[in-house]
Amino acid sequence: MEIATALIIVSIAIMSIFQLNRVSSKVNIKLGDNAYLNNHAKYQASLLLLSFIVLFFVYLQNPQNFWLFFSSGDLSAHAEPVRWFGIGENKTWIFAGLYLSIIITLGTFSFVYIQFRKLKVHFKELSPYIFWIIIFSLTNSFSEEAIFRLGLVSPLYGVLDTSNIILISAAFFGLAHFGGMPHGLIGMLMAGFLGWFLAKSVIETEGIFWAWLIHFIQDVVIYIGFMLSNISSGRMVENG
């Protein structure tokens, strides 16, 4: 019963995420003259509300597990080795978290750079948008960790083998990012790969600190790309 309930809740959340842009765009609230900032702020507010709803049901399923994982956890807990990715024996999550933050961010940066390298935008033009890049990255990473990590790890912990929970979290996370950055099959595989490590960190540290931090850093890189694209698009409209 716990398995089916958790999978249904997260599945409904994924279907809701696919509709959030369309629904939130109908809300008549403006933060300024920038259409992208207006629309994405409404999307992030809707996503945050969705994550709170998921967390409410996660709590109802297993309050004890909820409070166990809805915490920073043991930041220096033992990290189970992943030798093929450079995490060897006798490593803690201090090493693994910092290592993954660097290596995975380099991968994310590479794909974002390839996607937006032709944009003729100077990075100094990002300065008016730094606040929004940070805010969007914080809310997006929290909301997605609440849904795809806590939404699955908390109710399934002690019910399924942890390796299966990690795979389920990775699969759902990958599926939800079919239209992400990068998009398509590559986007799904990259998100699934990231989701595997994030779920692993949540279970092994019994907390969401490393998962949220690593996810936040990736979102900062991605939102920088989105903002550069938005600046470039706005310039083309002005010159059009």
pLDDT at 55: 98
Evaluated on CA atoms 215, 42, 148, 112, the torsion sign reads: negative
Tokens 């297993």, residue? Answer: 62
21-29 LR contacts (CB < 8 Å, sep 24+) = none
Mean per-residue pLDDT, 93-106: 97
Q: List pLDDT tens digits, range 7-50.
A: 999 999 999 998 888 888 777 777 767 778 888 899 999 999 99
pLDDT tens per residue, range 178-210 = 766 666 777 788 899 999 999 999 999 999 999
Domains in the chain, number: 1
Indicate the DSSP class of residue 92. E
232: containing domain: 2-239
Q: What is the pTM of this model?
A: 0.92
Cβ atoms < 10 Å from Cβ of 13: 23
